[in-house]
Amino acid sequence: MNETYEVIPSAKRLIKSLRDIGYDFSTAVADLIDNSIEAGASKVDIDVAFYGNDSYVRISDNGNGMKSENLKEAMRYGSERDYLEEDLGRFGLGLKTASMSQCQYFSVASRSKENKQIAVFSWDLSHIERTNKWEILQPKEKDIPELLKTPISEHSGTVVLWEKLDRIIGFKNSEGEAARNKVISMCRELENYLSMVFHKFLSNEVLGKSLEIYLNRNKIQPWDPFGRHESKTNILSPIKIKIIHNGAENKIFLQPYILPTKEEFSSQDSFQKLSGISGWNPQQGFYIYRANRMIQSGGWCGLRVIDEHTKLARIELNFSPALDDLFKINVAKMKVQLPVQAREEIERVVKPIVSLARERYDHEKKNLFKPSAPKVTEIQQTSPINKNILIKNSSQDIKFDLFTLNEVEQKVKEFATKYESKTISDVFSRLRRRLFGR
Ligand SMILES: Nc1ncnc2c1ncn2[C@@H]1O[C@H](COP(=O)(O)OP(=O)(O)O)[C@@H](O)[C@H]1O
Ligand SMILES: [Mg+2]
């Protein structure tokens, strides 16, 4: 048996280097909201207050909260707990690293359902610098600021308060107009980011996890990248890709969409909104969700390049946290990679989707969207949100076209005799009953 020696990392060096693990303001706040969702919160309030050096950011929720001993454990870098399949947490680091990436001093106050007492602990970078110890501070009851107590004075929940915002405001000229403008623009970015990454929660699509987020008392509205409210958005058939990981079978779910062309949008305003935070071209491609929370928006993960002609293709890709290792999720939950063992399969299924998107785009460009009667070889089901149906030619040498079921029936009848017409009507009625139950 070898001799063993415990070599404890230097607190001061490690905590400082962990500040640069990859968060920015928006992704840091989003990581705290993950914690709130996981704690069953239905409401999160974000307050960003600009007072020069005394500026602060406060994120409070009405979730289950924590008892004092649980909060103390939660403050530990690499806190221990068991994770459930659909949990948004992962490394036991988010609360600490996200907070410290933006400030030098942060406190967490929490009140559990069982215990009305509010527990508070803080991490203070200057204390770590001084002592080089992994020590958190517990303020005396009378020293707990109202800012930490008020949001949970009536119910359970957790409040995270960031102070000494060196990364957001900086200490030089912190009172100045430039600092104020920076905070304003960061808030705007934050609003766009949260409305995107949590859109499924904000629009009540996630069973039992509906959520409201307020930024400085303004309610954040969901941004749906797939324009499902637009009647001309085509919702293609969902695709499942099996993947074996750690001896267990798992699945990746893809839901492809072909967005309408500029002219087909219900309004130019709606078209503009769908351009997203990066603009129409970079927003094409994969929207990757882990347990319903968006991790990546747009881009083809190296499978293709961004191309004006394929900008109408957006593909939702969902994976469960059980596949975190394969997707190589990073701590800041901003980046993933497609698993090597599924890349080929994903590439294969994406090709026809991209062709359809390109076809739709080209039709608009040539102003030639006058479809000829297609060979109906495959009928793809639509989701209940949009009754448009996609009829797709599967043979490679025939062009792809998009039609509604009514349009196809109409077209086929143009070539039919009077007697055949009746049969076609019957067949289409049966098809409608099968697809839509009517
Ligand atoms: N808002 C919150 N409400 C209740 N519990 C929380 C909250 N934020 C953090 N926690 C607890 O603190 C633990 C540590 O959080 P974190 O550092 O983000 O790591 P992770 O989310 O990966 O577990 C969580 O597992 C959870 O138990
Ligand atoms: Mg977390």
Q: Are residues 214 and 77 in the same domain?
A: yes
Mutate to test the pocket of ligand 1, among 27, 35, 66, 111 (most ligand atoms within 8 A of CB): 35
Does residue 350 lie in a domain region?
yes
Any idea what the CATH number is for the domain that residue 147 is in?
3.30.565.10
Q: What DSSP designation does 308 have?
A: G
Does residue 229 lie in a domain region?
no
Report the SS3 class of residue 437: coil
Q: Are 77 and 212 in contact (CB under 8 A)?
A: no
**With a 6 A CB cut-off, is 324 part of the ligand 1 pocket?**
no
Question: What is residue 184's predicted lDDT score, i.e. its pLDDT?
Answer: 95
User: Whose CA is closest to 359, among 372, 346, 369, 348?
Assistant: 369
Neighbours of 8 (CB within 10 A): 8
User: Whose atoms come closest to the Cα of 321: which ligand?
Assistant: 1
In angstroms, the CA 232 to CA 265 distance is 7
Ligand 1: atom nearest CA of 74 is: 12
**With a 6 A CB cut-off, is 304 part of the ligand 1 pocket?**
no
Report the SS3 class of residue 169: coil
Q: Are 395 and 376 in contact (CB under 8 A)?
A: no
Q: Are residues 45 and 160 in the same domain?
A: yes
Q: Point out the domain boundary residue: 193, 219, 245.
A: 219
The predicted-structure confidence for 15-64, as pLDDT tens digits, reads as follows: 999 999 899 999 999 999 999 999 999 999 999 999 999 999 999 999 99
Does residue 317 lie in a domain region?
yes
Q: Are residues 211 and 268 in the same domain?
A: no
Q: Are residues 352 and 385 in the same domain?
A: no
Q: Are residues 45 and 116 in the same domain?
A: yes
Q: Are residues 215 and 245 in the same domain?
A: no
State the average pLDDT over residues 129-148.
Answer: 96
Using the mean position of ligand 1's atoms as its centre, give its distance from the Cα of residue 56 in Å.
21
Does residue 4 lie in a domain region?
no
State the average pLDDT over residues 299-305.
Answer: 95
The CA-atom distances, in angstroms, between 401 and each of 320, 350, 357, 358, 375 are 34, 17, 10, 10, 10
Does residue 372 lie in a domain region?
no
Q: Point out the domain boundary residue: 339, 366, 393.
A: 366
Q: Which residue has the higher pLDDT, 113 or 90?
A: 113
Q: What is the DSSP annotation of 89-149?
A: --SS-HHHHHHHTT-SEEEEEEE-SS--PPEEEEEEHHHHHHH-S---B---GGGS-HHHH
Count of domains observed in the chain: 3
Share of the chain residues as helix, strand and coil, in percent rounded to the nearest 5:
35, 20, 45
Q: Are residues 181 and 279 in the same domain?
A: no
In angstroms, the CA 389 to CA 376 distance is 12
Does residue 183 lie in a domain region?
yes
**With a 6 A CB cut-off, is 109 part of the ligand 1 pocket?**
no
The predicted-structure confidence for 374-414, as pLDDT tens digits, reads as follows: 433 333 433 333 333 343 433 333 333 456 777 788 878 88
**With a 6 A CB cut-off, is 76 part of the ligand 1 pocket?**
no
Question: What is residue 330's predicted lDDT score, i.e. its pLDDT?
Answer: 80
Question: What is residue 331's predicted lDDT score, i.e. its pLDDT?
Answer: 74
Q: Are residues 344 and 384 in the same domain?
A: no
**With a 6 A CB cut-off, is 81 part of the ligand 1 pocket?**
yes
Using the mean position of ligand 2's atoms as its centre, give its distance from the Cα of residue 82 in Å.
13
Ligand 1: atom nearest CA of 93 is: 17
Q: Are residues 141 and 17 in the same domain?
A: yes
Question: What is residue 315's predicted lDDT score, i.e. its pLDDT?
Answer: 98
Using the mean position of ligand 2's atoms as its centre, give its distance from the Cα of residue 174 in Å.
30
Q: Are residues 356 and 385 in the same domain?
A: no
Does residue 151 lie in a domain region?
yes
Using the mean position of ligand 2's atoms as its centre, give its distance from the Cα of residue 78 in Å.
10
Question: What is residue 288's predicted lDDT score, i.e. its pLDDT?
Answer: 97
Q: What percentage of the chain reaches a pLDDT higher than 90?
A: 71
Q: Are residues 355 and 388 in the same domain?
A: no
Written as six digits, the tokens of 177 are 């107009």
The predicted-structure confidence for 189-220, as pLDDT tens digits, reads as follows: 999 999 999 999 999 999 999 999 999 999 99
Min mean pLDDT across 146-155, 200-209, 221-230, 413-422 is at 413-422
In angstroms, the CA 45 to CA 216 distance is 7
Question: What is residue 152's predicted lDDT score, i.e. its pLDDT?
Answer: 98
Confidence of residue 438 (pLDDT cuts 50, 70, 90): low
Any idea what the CATH number is for the domain that residue 310 is in?
3.30.230
State the average pLDDT over residues 178-191.
Answer: 95
The domain in which residue 301 lies consists of: 234-366
Mutate to test the pocket of ligand 1, among 15, 21, 33, 38 (most ligand atoms within 8 A of CB): 38
User: Whose atoms come closest to the Cα of 100: which ligand?
Assistant: 1
State the average pLDDT over residues 214-237.
Answer: 97
**With a 6 A CB cut-off, is 159 part of the ligand 1 pocket?**
no
Q: Are residues 157 and 241 in the same domain?
A: no
In angstroms, the CA 215 to CA 236 distance is 35
Written as six digits, the tokens of 325 are 């290792």
Q: Is the pLDDT of residue 129 over 60?
A: yes
Q: Point out the domain boundary residue: 191, 219, 247.
A: 219
Q: Is the pLDDT of residue 346 over 80?
A: yes
Does residue 227 lie in a domain region?
no
The residue to which tokens 């072909």 are assigned = 258
Ligand 1: atom nearest CA of 79 is: 14
Mutate to test the pocket of ligand 1, among 79, 82, 155 (most ligand atoms within 8 A of CB): 79
Neighbours of 141 (CB within 10 A): 9
**With a 6 A CB cut-off, is 293 part of the ligand 1 pocket?**
no
